[in-house]
Amino acid sequence: MACNGSNCQANCHRDEDERAARSDDVSSTAAVDGSGAVCVKCKANEPIPTAAISRGGEVGRFCADCFRSNLFAKFRHAVTSNAMISPADNVLVAFSGGHASRVALQFVHDMQYKAQKNFDASRDRSLPVFGVGVAFIDESTGYPITSSEMDRVLGDMKLMVSQLSPPTKELHIFPVHSVYSEGSRDSRERLKELLDRVSDATGKEDLLVHLRMLSLQKIASDNGYNRIVLGSCISRFASHVLSATVKGQGYSLPADIQYVDARWGVPLVFPLRDCLAQELSMLCHLDGLKTVELPNVPCSSINSLVSSFVALLQEENPSRECTIVRTAGKLTPFHFNRIPEINDCNVPLATRRRQKRSNLKLNGSISSESCCPICFSPLNKADLGSLETRQSASDVFGAACCSSCQFQILPQDSSDMEQFCSLLPEALFSRAKQSNYYDFGSLREQIQDYLLPDSETDP
Amino acid sequence: MAESHAKVQKVGGGRLCCICNERRAALKRPKTLEQICRECFFAVFEEEIHQVIVENQLFNPGERIAIGASGGKDSTVLAYVLSELNRRHDYRLDLFLLSVDEGITGYRDDSLETVKRNEIQYGLPLKIVSYKDLYGWTMDEIVKIIGLKNNCTFCGVFRRQALDRGASLLKVDKLVTGHNADDIAETVLLNILRGDIARLSRCTAITTGEDGPIPRCKPFKYTYEKEIVMYAYFKRLDYFSTECIYSPNAYRGFAREFIKDLERIRPRAILDIIKSGENFRIATSTKMPEQGTCERCGYISSQKWCKACVLLEGLNRGLPKLGIGRTRVLDKDQKKDLKQSIGTKSIASKQCGSLDF
């Protein structure tokens, strides 16, 4: 529609130009296969043959070495320009078994290995080597996986992590139902019941994602990690941009797609934000990085519909994913989308000096307010309903959630709300308590006995 | 939600309307999946549009309003509903129908007949402005020169200006168009896919061009396309539903199909996309194109000349490719490849037939 505008030529015709550029590419790679074309960077080696894996990104123009160093440079640039990892840090890599997180783990390991070499060689040893741990969240409670299959996956994983040393990395295998506080009975059954109560397929998926985040936070805080590295790549971010838009989360969207997300107790960092999924799987293929594939569960959720739409667009135009993320990148991020500055005098000066400041401009960012207790996305003030008439804790909890969670996760029938809340992990429920909105309800509960019915007690 | 409504008690072979609980439900409302009767559907459909008009203060009493009428379902329903609401809620508006005659034989002449019938049926005065009068060219003549490629560019650019010129001839205060919720949701997605942050920031506004001479607004911003079709069907409204002969497959866009798929899983997705579009926070530092006026005709333009003047100049000088595509010139062979490689499918659904926001 916008395409017949008076000055939109650039946009309408870009597709054609890109197609033209793509046909250029095709002809040049066709030439590669025949005669001795060379890598565009080093101009010495032969480029990676493209027939093996579907093309995308820099694949097909670089030789294997240049491709690898180019990818690692993207990773390192993201790490240093956003102060993701400092020498004193203890980093937890979230590993799902897939290509992206496998590359993240490998790159973090490479970085740590170099830091260790420098440490051993340096005289004053003022820069310590950051620590690395690996986390795997076992979600077999939510997905149908046989236990023998799970055992095989875990075995592979242990072997893989043990091969990534020195320095030694601890592997934390964490069943997702352990987000319930210790000592709570039948946590596995409780989680199952909770998920069964979410009727919307998309809501169920998203709730599991939130619980996974909560699990990572729990592992990190229980084991003294101060960073969580996630392997989300640009393809993942592009899908998230669209699915968040489709779910009506336009306000909170910019919070989820930056390099750093420090709204949680332990900040999340995304060093592979600039890498394409094809590039990452190509690297795994080239370097023989072993991945662990979990069986794919077919699902008809909004998320899977969006992913297949993005895949279709990417096929039609190989830079579409980048465009999507770049567009959404122009939305204003939040104040927590950067690593907090170290002001602690106990941290060695050398470490503090090393902490480069990101180029994220703070003046443009929004200082937020309250977050949804389920998905932890910042809430648009205009969306918050009036809470004055709500009295029970579960009602207040429901009202504190974002409209998207209210629709797809919370029960539609308010009479089921109390039961639903009792099934939620304590950590989720207590989050609502931290927000102001809950305080009002809890204050009211405390003075409940002294309030007369129908009196004007609401302030 | 769907399930709970499906369980509504069965009485006498059919379910009862879940709004009035009296009549038999005749349809499942696309927006909410509620099963309701025909009368209640008309009532909620009209009432929602009335609420949008009131809440957004789209009109002031005594204003002259032009309805952009193509003869298609959206503008026909818009004309019908607006004249109905104007009467019912005493908006005190002077309504006019405004049509653009692009000069497409076998398409626009037929649809204009529909609009002329609507003029009589709804008692609204009709004004038709034609490309021939405004620019000296009909679309038939333009297509003869430039062929079936890029012809939609001419049509779209000219239509936008033609509507404004027609509106000023009618001396109206506002122009309303029949863009529906599906259109706006698609625009939001397309602007994300194309990286057009400037349009993304303004495409969800219900009223646009308030700084210009004639503001435009979209009373159907929250109205689902399916409900418009349903309304036209049950009211037996007289509308024209043939595709433009110069762009027969304009409706097969990826984005539109995606929205239809989403709607199937979750009807509220369309409203959620619009909501996201409204809530996007765009940094003030983001560069926006500056708006000026065309040195030649005085129409709004970000360049020295407005697009219509550039295209017209090209036509009159016998250089019809002027102003189309980028300045970068592809050599002939490449162009040939290009033509072959481009399928009929694009990501946008409407290359033409619609009015730009």
pLDDT of res. A345: 60
Domain contains B286: no
pLDDT band at B87 (very low <50, low <70, confident <90, very high): very high
pLDDT band at B348 (very low <50, low <70, confident <90, very high): low
pLDDT of res. A447: 67
pLDDT band at B333 (very low <50, low <70, confident <90, very high): very low
Among A1, A313, A316, beta carbon nearest to B187: A1
pLDDT of res. B326: 52
In this structure, the answer to whether residues B6 and B64 fall within a common structural domain is no
Distance (Å) from the C-alpha of residue B275 to the closest C-alpha of chain A? 6
In this structure, the answer to whether residues B208 and B332 fall within a common structural domain is no
For chain B, state the CA radius of gyration: 22
Q: Establish if B337 touches chain A: CB-CB under 8 angstroms.
A: yes
Domain contains B354: no
The strand pairing partners of B126, in sequence order, are B97
Among A7, A13, A301, beta carbon nearest to B302: A7
H-helix segments, chain B: 2-6, 38-55, 73-88, 108-122, 131-135, 139-146, 151-169, 181-194, 197-202, 225-234, 254-265, 269-279, 307-316, 332-341
| Closest-approach residue (CA) in chain B for A203 | B266
Q: Is B66 helix (H, G, I), strand (E, B) or coil?
A: strand
- CATH (domain of B191): 3.40.50.620
pLDDT higher than threshold 60 for residue B184: yes
The count of structural domains within chain B is 3
Tell me the DSSP string of B165-195: HHHHHTT-SEEE----HHHHHHHHHHHHHHT
In this structure, the answer to whether residues B6 and B92 fall within a common structural domain is no
pLDDT higher than threshold 70 for residue B355: no
| Closest-approach residue (CA) in chain B for A247 | B272
| Closest-approach residue (CA) in chain B for A307 | B258
For chain A, state the CA radius of gyration: 24
Residue that wins the pLDDT comparison between B291 and B214: B214
For residue range A120-171, list pLDDT tens digits in order: 888 877 778 888 999 998 887 767 777 788 888 888 888 888 888 778 888 8
The predicted model gives A447-455 an average pLDDT of: 64
Contact A404 B188 (CB under 8 A): no
pLDDT higher than threshold 90 for residue B230: yes
Domain contains B298: yes
Q: Establish if B302 touches chain A: CB-CB under 8 angstroms.
A: yes
Could you tell me if A444 and A391 are in contact, meaning their C-beta atoms sit under 8 angstroms apart?
A: yes
pLDDT of res. B357: 35
pLDDT band at B354 (very low <50, low <70, confident <90, very high): very low
pLDDT higher than threshold 90 for residue B5: no
In this structure, the answer to whether residues B119 and B245 fall within a common structural domain is yes
Tally of residues, chain B: 357
For residue range B314-330, list pLDDT tens digits in order: 888 877 677 666 544 44
pLDDT of res. A67: 87
Domain contains B116: yes
Contact A248 B271 (CB under 8 A): yes
Name which of A37-46, B45-54, B61-70 the model is least confident about: A37-46
Sequence-separated (6 or more) residues with CB below 8 Å from residue B51: none
Domain contains B285: no
Q: What is the 3-state secondary structure (H, E, C) of chain A?
A: CHHHCCCCHHHHHHHHHHHHHHHHHHHHHHHHHHCCCCCCCCCCCCCCCCCCCCCCCCCCCCCHHHHHHHHHHHHHHHHHHCCCCCCCCEEEEECCCCHHHHHHHHHHHHHHHHHHHHHHHCCCCCCCCCEEEEEEEECCCCCCCCHHHHHHHHHHHHHHHHCCCCCCCEEEEEEHHHHCCCCCCCHHHHHHHHHHHCCCHHHHHHHHHHHHHHHHHHHHHHCCCCEEECCCCHHHHHHHHHHHHHCCCCCCHHHHCCCEECCCCCCEECCCCCCCHHHHHHHHHHHCCCCCCCCCCCCCCHHHHHHHHHHHHHHHCCCHHHHHHHHHHCECCECCCCCCCCCCCCCCHHHHHHCCCCCCCCCCCECCCCECCCCCCECCHHHCCCCCCCCCHHHHHHHHCCHHHHHHCCCCCHHHHHHHHHHCCHHHHHHHHHCHHHHHHHHHHHHHHHCCCCCCCCC
Residues of A in contact with B341 (CB under 8 A): 19, 23
Q: Establish if B191 touches chain A: CB-CB under 8 angstroms.
A: yes
In this structure, the answer to whether residues B91 and B222 fall within a common structural domain is yes
Name the domain boundary from B226, B249, B279. B279
Residue B65, H or E segment: strand B64-68
pLDDT higher than threshold 60 for residue A440: no
pLDDT of res. B8: 43
Residue B216, H or E segment: strand B216-217
How does strand A260-261 pair with strand A170-175?
A: unpaired
Q: Which amino acid is it at B5?
A: H
Domain contains B233: yes
pLDDT band at A431 (very low <50, low <70, confident <90, very high): low
Measured distance CA(B243)–CA(B241) in Å, rounded: 7
For residue range A273-313, list pLDDT tens digits in order: 999 998 898 898 888 888 887 766 667 789 999 999 999 88
In this structure, the answer to whether residues B104 and B201 fall within a common structural domain is yes
Residue that wins the pLDDT comparison between B253 and A189: A189
pLDDT of res. B128: 93
Residues of A in contact with B277 (CB under 8 A): 245, 250
Q: Is B163 helix (H, G, I), strand (E, B) or coil?
A: helix
Rounded to whole angstroms, the maximal C-alpha distance in chain A is: 90
Residues of A in contact with B271 (CB under 8 A): 248
Measured distance CA(A236)–CA(A233) in Å, rounded: 5
Residue that wins the pLDDT comparison between A452 and B7: A452
Neighbours of A54 (CB within 10 A): 13
pLDDT of res. A448: 67
pLDDT higher than threshold 80 for residue B75: yes
Residues of B in contact with A205 (CB under 8 A): none
In this structure, the answer to whether residues B335 and B267 fall within a common structural domain is no
For residue range B200-211, list pLDDT tens digits in order: 888 899 998 887
The predicted model gives A36-56 an average pLDDT of: 68
- Binding positions of B for ATP are 68-70, 74, 100, 178, 183
pLDDT higher than threshold 90 for residue B54: yes
pLDDT band at B217 (very low <50, low <70, confident <90, very high): very high
Residue that wins the pLDDT comparison between B288 and B233: B233
Residue environment code for B158-170, b if the CB has 16+ CB neighbours within 10 A, otherwise e: bbbbbbbbbbeeb
Rounded-to-10 torsion of CA B320, B324, B325, B331: 10
For residue range B149-169, list pLDDT tens digits in order: 777 888 888 888 899 889 999
Sequence-separated (6 or more) residues with CB below 8 Å from residue B16: B8, B9, B22, B23, B24, B25
pLDDT higher than threshold 60 for residue A16: no
The predicted model gives A208-212 an average pLDDT of: 90
Domain contains B351: no
In this structure, the answer to whether residues B252 and B318 fall within a common structural domain is no
pLDDT band at B248 (very low <50, low <70, confident <90, very high): low
Could you tell me if B353 and B250 are in contact, meaning their C-beta atoms sit under 8 angstroms apart?
A: yes
In this structure, the answer to whether residues B18 and B120 fall within a common structural domain is no
Residue B28, H or E segment: strand B27-28
Name the domain boundary from B254, B279, B304. B279
Contact B330 A14 (CB under 8 A): no
Distance (Å) from the C-alpha of residue B150 to the closest C-alpha of chain A? 10
Q: Establish if B313 touches chain A: CB-CB under 8 angstroms.
A: no
C-alpha distances out from residue A457 to A385, A391, A435, A454, Å: 19, 12, 22, 8
Name the domain boundary from B247, B279, B311. B279
Could you tell me if B349 and B251 are in contact, meaning their C-beta atoms sit under 8 angstroms apart?
A: yes
Per DSSP, B16 falls in state: B
Write down the mean pLDDT value for chain A.
77
Instruction: Tell me the two tokens of residue A208.
Output: 């599991």
Measured distance CA(B121)–CA(B84) in Å, rounded: 12
Distance (Å) from the C-alpha of residue B37 to the closest C-alpha of chain A? 24
Answer yes or no: pTM beyond 0.90: no
Alpha carbons within 13 angstroms on the beta-carbon side of residue A424 total 26
The predicted model gives B55-70 an average pLDDT of: 93
For residue range B95-142, list pLDDT tens digits in order: 999 999 988 888 888 889 999 999 999 999 999 999 998 888 898 988
Measured distance CA(B160)–CA(B199) in Å, rounded: 16
pLDDT band at B287 (very low <50, low <70, confident <90, very high): low
Domain contains B220: yes
Could you tell me if B158 and B150 are in contact, meaning their C-beta atoms sit under 8 angstroms apart?
A: no
Which one of B225, B281, B293 would you mutate to disrupt binding with A, by most A Cβ within 10 Å of its Cβ?
A: B281
Q: Establish if B244 touches chain A: CB-CB under 8 angstroms.
A: no
Measured distance CA(B227)–CA(B29) in Å, rounded: 7
Q: Which amino acid is it at B108?
A: R
pLDDT higher than threshold 70 for residue A56: no
For residue range A180-193, list pLDDT tens digits in order: 876 666 888 888 88
Measured distance CA(A309)–CA(B258) in Å, rounded: 7
In this structure, the answer to whether residues B178 and B321 fall within a common structural domain is no
pLDDT of res. B177: 94
Contact B325 A380 (CB under 8 A): no
Could you tell me if B319 and B310 are in contact, meaning their C-beta atoms sit under 8 angstroms apart?
A: no
In this structure, the answer to whether residues B152 and B51 fall within a common structural domain is yes
Among A202, A242, A331, beta carbon nearest to B282: A331
pLDDT of res. A355: 55
In this structure, the answer to whether residues B53 and B144 fall within a common structural domain is yes
Contact A324 B186 (CB under 8 A): no
Predicted-complex ipTM score: 0.82
pLDDT above 90 as % of chain A: 22
Instruction: Tell me the two tokens of residue B277.
Output: 């579009």
pLDDT band at A25 (very low <50, low <70, confident <90, very high): very low
pLDDT higher than threshold 70 for residue A433: no
Containing structural domain, residue B326: 292-342
For residue range A369-417, list pLDDT tens digits in order: 678 888 888 888 776 655 555 567 777 788 888 889 889 998 888 788 8
Q: Establish if B2 touches chain A: CB-CB under 8 angstroms.
A: no
For residue range B27-40, list pLDDT tens digits in order: 999 999 999 999 99
